[in-house]
Amino acid sequence: MFLCKKKPCEVERIVKANDREYNEKFQYADNRIHTSKYSIITFLPINLFEQFQRVANAYFLFLLILQLIPEISSLTWFTTIVPLVLVITMTAVKDATDDYFRHKSDNQVNNRQSEVLIDGKLQNEKWMNVKVGDIIKLENNQFVAADLLLLSSSEPHGLCYIETAELDGETNLKVRHALSVTSELGADISRLARFDGTVVCEAPNNKLDKFVGVLSWKDSKHSLNNQKIILRGCILRNTSWCFGMVIFAGPDTKLIQNSGKTKFKRTSIDRLMNTLVLWIFGFLACLGIILAIGNSIWENQVGGQFRTFLFWNEEEKDSIFSGFLTFWSYIIILNTVVPISLYVSMEVIRLGHSYFINWDRKMYYSGKAAPAEARTTTLNEELGQIEYVFSDKTGTLTQNIMTFKKCSINGRIYGEVCDDTVQKKEITKEKEPVDFSGKPQAARSFQFFDQSLMESIKLGDPNVHEFFRLLALCHTVMSEEDSTGKLIYQVQSPDEGALVTAARNCGFIFKSRTPETITIEELGTLVTYQLLAFLDFNNIRKRMSVIVRNPAGQIKLYSKGADTILFERLHPSSEDLLCLTSDHLGEFAGEGLRTLAIAYRDLDDKYFKEWHKMLETASAAMHGRDDQISGLYEEIERDLTLLGATAIEDKLQEGVIETIASLSLASIKIWVLTGDKQETAVNIGYACNMLTEDMNDVFVIAGNTVGEVREELRKAKGSLFGQNNSVLNGHVACEKPQQLELVSVGEDTVTGDYALVINGHSLAHALESDIKNDLLELACLCKTVICCRVTPLQKAQVVELVRKHKNAVTLAIGDGANDVSMIKTAHIGVGISGQEGLQAVLASDYSFAQFKYLQRLLLVHGRWSYFRMCKFLCYFFYKNFAFTLVHFWFAFFCGFSAQFFGPVPRKDPLELPISPHSLDGWSLSFSPRGLGHEWMCFWCPHGGKKSREPPVLLKAAGSDNIGQSEVKQLDFKFFRQSSHLKREQ
């Protein structure tokens, strides 16, 4: 894999069905995958190269080389090679084990069997032998081998159902449908073998929700989109069989393209350690220079007195060269100041802390049998330093279990009644709910407490009927029946499920869909609508629409979406209803309910045909397709007639209030970033006690221009500091990042609790202009910040703003795909395994099932991980410096001769013990009745050949009681030197 020829960069892909010879000239990748890093041949050189890229390992390799030079080494080479080989071997074994399992997984996947159409026959082939352009047969519950263009299936109209859990974590079924021209091929092997269509499409990329291509066959062209493609990693469900043509194989598939490198996150301790190691290198070099200078001075002034006894000539010793050699000798001697085992020890501790998180029963959610999971082992101590938490609302603070509570239809609210004094009164659980027992298809879990809604349906109110007809038609829900004949909905979002269920219980039951029709049951009558166009939802449009033709031949566009978006597209005739519905939406949002606006439009047949022709042309375009389609969507989604609005309840999770209170006491600031409207977000803020009536002020930033946003920020800061406060001066347009230092000053001067609420369009102006620093300053001075109507990109931008300009550790927590960018941007990402699939969990560093577990993660595991790691590091450096500086101090008593000191006393004066820190650290001690400290052995490591001669014991003045015969010549390296040496008379 490392010697393969680099393939040219693709601009577009051309694939011809059933023609391997034609496709091979493009050098497309085969279907074999390689997730492993090494082979048997390449493991040793590549792994060693990777390991010696680490500074500590490279340093000790350099040290080992120095120790092989006898002129400068006073320690044998194995004192360094043993720990170095141990560390490298442990790391290599770990890397080899990981790669072995990758090889095993690769072989398991590559050797899966699939039926491939070859030479007019279906043959079993291993996945790794599948080529681009091949036609594959899939059966129910099989994994998809490659990215396929769906040709035909066992279901009517070429439909098939897939599960995409391995791609995006969502377990609900999704529908894919073949082109009508290819769905006619069916399971006829001879016709499939003669299929010679050519696909021209985009180059391989990692966009799971987008595909652009054109199929040319039989002198006609057909546009291809994501609904015609089945991606590798999906599982075929509820479909007996289907046939597909391979477009992307192996490493070119979108699944593998999304398996790229994730941004590596390092803790502040890691960054500090890297800096400290560099400083330690510098400190070690300084010690070596000081001792080298000391050696040169000592050799020049005192060393000459000893050369006579060592039979050296005067010219044989150069003090400068001796100092040079001594520098490298002390680099070897003092090497223990550099922590070779530090990183390994830290990883072992972090691994243990990760297991503590995984084993914590108090973070186990029995409702889903979901334990907490530490998906990384490198960030545990960072949990104890969090200062800012960025949280999604829906599914994170709330349960994301949607319940249809209220609605506004033609200016009337359903879900509340009026008493005798004509004042509104909320329907409560004490009231009798609507009885749906007479409707066998009704969902038993659905409850509604306003009988007047059912009466309006029975009376045939056309607006009410049209309202629920829209809810039954405008969605992406898939239906199926279980073994008992009960209707089951597969939904992509809980909101859609709640709305379709409400329509179902009100008599408008969604039954089934095909690529060309939608069938619903309207008050007991089956009605099939022809599906003419589907205008899908995305985070930019914030709405979805369907265009259908009813049995009477009328063409209608049904649309639902955010009220701020749909209200801009209403016909002037809906002006009065718009004002009334806006008031109702405000009431719903004030109660914490999620709202959507509902509208429709009658279309002229001639106008629609012209528009649809332009849509087909735009869909077949290879360049600028999205912009053209978006423009056509905008053109037809206008002059809408307002029907009303829906209100859905999403309750808070258990323990949210207590968790937020505890984190606030720990001086952790919580910012809520949500796509909900302002009133809903504010209401949830009050429900969580993030906003309270006791707050001094709640600043609302809702400007529509940069100037308005700047003025509102200025007024808010004026309320904080006072108009004459000098802190405010100079902050009209903070363009220099250095001015952000004033934030810390302001935090000390501000008294009282403040909150900031800003909506999406105001946030967009603030983030893209020179006032983003003003926004950050004001937000950091507030106790609570709520950003509403924000896009996923804006969530990531807010996190990046705080992370970049504030020296603080950030954490982002969410549960959906719209939170992934925020989770990846923060220092630490936490995923909630909620109702919106596992996208957030798959992108996170830590995951659990409930927001309340965040308190224990930060205040228990985070605190103890940080505390233990700090204690360990302090001990580690203390131990290393204490041991190393002893040798530095000893140098002043041994003539700076780079001798190793091992102060281990022994009773036997001739016993040579092993130092606890080095196998070569011999030391000699003297008993009181034997040789005293006035005796010394002198050995110079820089004397060339003479340095290896037996040392000479010298007797100091004043010690006449020991005869020369008692002196033994001992061949050992370490010595003690008396402070006063005189030549024996």
Residue 177's nearest CA partner among 194, 154, 195, 196 is 154
Q: Is 982 annotated as a binding residue?
A: no
* 400 vs 650: CA distance, rounded Å: 6
Q: Is 20 annotated as a binding residue?
A: no
Could you confirm whether 392 is annotated as catalytic? Answer: yes
- Cβ neighbours of residue 627 under 8 Å, at least 6 residues apart? none
Residue by residue, DSSP assigns 487-550 as EEEE-SSHHHHHHHHHHHHTTEEEEEE-SSEEEEEETTEEEEEEEEEEE---TTT-EEEEEEE-
According to DSSP, the residues that pair with 403 across neighbouring strands are: 649
* 137 vs 239: CA distance, rounded Å: 12
Q: Is 392 annotated as a binding residue?
A: yes
User: Could you give the dihedral angle defined by the CA atoms of residues 898, 904, 908 and 911, in that order, rounded to the nearest 10 degrees?
Assistant: -50
Q: Is 393 annotated as a binding residue?
A: yes
Q: Is 902 annotated as a binding residue?
A: no
Residue 809's nearest CA partner among 654, 668, 646 is 668
Q: Is 435 annotated as a binding residue?
A: no
Q: Is 450 annotated as a binding residue?
A: no
Residue 390's nearest CA partner among 84, 673, 784, 165 is 673
**Tokens 């360094």, located at residue:** 80
* 454 vs 446: CA distance, rounded Å: 14
Q: Is 650 annotated as a binding residue?
A: no
User: Could you give the dihedral angle defined by the CA atoms of residues 723, 729, 734 and 740, in that order, rounded to the nearest 10 degrees?
Assistant: -90
**Amino acid (one-letter) located at 632:** L
- Cβ neighbours of residue 134 under 8 Å, at least 6 residues apart? 18, 20, 116, 117, 118, 245, 246
The angle that helices 678-687 and 575-590 make with each other, rounded to 10 degrees, is 20
Tokens of 736: 């220099």
Residue 446 exposure: Cα atoms within 13 Å on the Cβ side: 24
Q: Is 751 annotated as a binding residue?
A: no
Q: Is 394 annotated as a binding residue?
A: yes
Q: Is 594 annotated as a binding residue?
A: yes
Q: Is 815 annotated as a binding residue?
A: yes
Which of 30, 392, 563, 650 is catalytic? The answer is 392
Calculate the alpha carbon distances from 207 to 143, 227, 257, 449 in Å.
Answer: 20, 13, 9, 44
Q: How far apart are the first and last CA of the chain?
A: 77
Q: Is 818 annotated as a binding residue?
A: yes
Say how many residues make up the chain.
985
2-11 long-range Cβ contacts below 8 angstroms, 24+ apart = 2/42, 2/46, 9/203, 10/203, 10/204, 11/203
CB 519 within 8 A of CB 528: yes
SS3 content of the chain, % helix, strand, coil (to 5): 40, 20, 40
Numbered residues of the known binding site for ATP? 392-394, 496, 537, 560, 594, 674-676, 789, 795, 818-819
Tell me the catalytic residues. 392
Q: Which residues are annotated as a binding site for Mg(2+)?
A: 392, 394, 815, 819
Residue numbering of the annotated binding site:
392-394, 496, 537, 560, 594, 674-676, 789, 795, 815, 818-819
